[in-house]
Structure 1
Amino acid sequence: MNNDAIMVTGATGVLGREVLERARRTGAPVRALTRRSQLPDGAGVTWCTGDLASGTGLDEAFAGVRTIIHCATDARHFKKDVPAFRHLLEAAKRAAGVEHIVNISIVGIDRIPYPYYRIKLEGERMLAASGIGWTNLRATQFPELLDMVFTLLAKLPVVLVPARSACQPVAPGDVADRLVELAAGGPAGRVPDLAGPTVYGMDRLARTWLRATGKRRLVLPVLLPGKSGAALRAGALTAPSRALGRRTWEEFLAGKACDRAE
């Protein structure tokens, strides 16, 4: 069996789809993990059925895999992420060929005490202590996440956003490029963060999103209390010195406007 395969977890997600496409272009054997019914193979990808939450099917899926690019997460049921990551690490250690796990994480998780961020930080610690070669990349927020948040907020007459807070959206494709590049190299530990090309105030992001989607709402910046609010005002969601992403927020919104016009 070929022991040079790349496994992508979370391969049907926003980031995972982009990673899968780029991994396929490398010419290496590529596998994708799904907990649903196994999808048909094709375009250089072999689909494997396995469930990170229960650990079932992982031994078979990881056999012959050298590198795992771990994109799977569930922000809505994030308490499952720690046991899922534990199952992944245990199965990777049982698989003789796994030499490298490339993990995607989030800029600011060590500064903002959100429950989901604490879970992501615990995952980083587990990875570092696993005994397996590892690389960890933190990225800023995806435009798709902001789109989802603003869609929910715009259900009300007033869109509330954190005051004096900034965000630096980065395209999933740009993050996927970097993850596949890291997977091609050896374990590097925590690598420098990756951020989008521009830092925006949250109020500006909301207003430009509203214009692109044709919604009329008042945007009201609100001063958030506590450590989370202070961290946001200190720029915890941004990494200005790592503005290496190429696709802009405006390009994302242009796509939204085109979808609306069709």
Structure 2
Amino acid sequence: MTGGTGVLGRPLTERLRADGHEVRVLSRHAQPYAVDLVAGGSGLDAAVAGVDTIVHCATSPRGGDEQAAANLIAAARRAGVGHLVYISIVGVDRVPFGYYRTKLAVERLVEESGLGWTVLRATQFHDLLVMLFQILSKPPVMLVPAGVSDQPVAVAEVADRLADLAVGAPAGRVDDMGGPEVLTFPELARAYLRATGRRRPLVNVPLFGKAYRGFRAGGHLTPERAVGKATFGEHLAARFGAAGSPRR
């Protein structure tokens, strides 16, 4: 598994090992499979030798994902890996956001790899919104993007879904996975403020550009696939020990 020490990779590794599967964790610093996917090299070949399935979770908003995927796919071909599972994001083909374009390009590399493959798209994790709100709430006024909603999902639930896919046969592009609720940014932000005991006035700020229009149009949402169970409010309560249920 690439990115096995990350936000998604860690619970996925734990789930697979708990189910009795041998898991190799590939990351820049995880021994004995410390691998730089962007650089490639002999360490990558050794890491994937004898592997049945690769789950590719490693990613970086700073760039290099396409090269990393190309190196991983080449090594997987050489090793005769039978199944490559990739985690992507809902809306990568609908929202012209730079990071989303990269994820879509990696999807295409996976699909054209010649390997058996599975791609799962999920909505944003609860923790990503918390990190965003931690930044936005630092000033005395909290600015949020006007007209944008989100559909956060629990990372543990995505890990469980990926684990099931990893032990199954290659399935191609599977159904998207979204959180249980579509909520506006003010609703989500107020829930965060209540849960953390902060007081900030909210100001809706209109932004510009094609990516913003895509988010406003809900291209990153999948309300018809609201299969997640844990709500953002429940996540906040578990993390901060306070009621954070969004109020409409």
TM normalised by structure 1 equals: 0.88
Q: Structure 1 pair 67/209, CA: closer, same or farther in 2 (3 Å)?
A: same
* Corresponding residue number in structure 1 for 2:36: 51
Question: 1:217 and 1:118 mapped to 2: Cα distance?
Answer: 34
Aligned to 1:90: 74
- Structure 2 letter corresponding to 1:26: D
Residue 178 of structure 1: CA displacement? Answer: 0.7
Residue matched to 2:4:
11
Q: In the alignment, which of 54, 58, 61 is matched to residue 72 of structure 1?
A: 58
Give the corresponding residue for 1:33: 26
Contact 1:107/1:237 (<8 A) preserved: yes
Tell me which residue corresponds to 1:147.
130
Residues paired across the two proteins, number? 241
Q: Contact 2:37–2:69 at 8 Å: present in 1 too?
A: yes
Output the amino acid matched with 2:34. Answer: T
> Match for 2:113 among 118, 124, 130?
130
Pick aligned residue for 1:61 from 39, 43, 47: 47
Aligned twin of 1:3: none
Q: What's the CA shift string for 1:204-228, capped at 9, x where partnerless? A: 1011111111221111112233322
TM-score where L is the length of structure 2: 0.93
Residue aligned with 2:52, SS: strand
Matched, 1:109 2:92: yes
Q: Which amino acid aligns with 1:14?
A: V
Shift in Å at residue 25 of structure 1? 2.3
| 1:183-202 equivalent positions in 2, closer than 5 A | 183-202=166-185
| Secondary structure at the counterpart of residue 138 of structure 1 | strand
> Which whole-Å CA distance do the structure 2 matches of 1:215 and 1:88 have between them?
44
Q: Deviations over 1:202-260 (max 9, x none)?
A: 1110111111112211111122333222222221221111111111111111123229x
Structure 2 residue runs without a partner (length 5+): 243-248
Residue identity opposite 1:131 in structure 2: G
Deviation at 1:105, TM superposition (A): 0.3
Q: 1:129 to 1:36 in 2, by over 3 A?
A: same
1:49 maps to amino acid = A
Cα-to-partner distance string for 1:106-127 (whole Å, 9 max, x where unaligned): 0111111111111111101111
Distance 1:18 1:177 in 2: 8
Larger fraction in strand: 1
Deviates more, 1:61-70 or 1:213-222: 213-222
Matches of 1:37 and 1:229, distance apart in 2: 37
1:233 aligns with 216
C-alpha spacing 1:105/1:37, structure 2 compared with 1 (3 Å): closer
1:44 matched to which residue of 2?
A: none
Query: Residue in 2 aligned with 1:121?
Result: 104
Kindly report the root-mean-square deviation, in angstroms, between the aligned alpha carbons of the 2 structures: 1.4
Contact residue 195 and residue 241 of structure 2 kept, 8 A: no
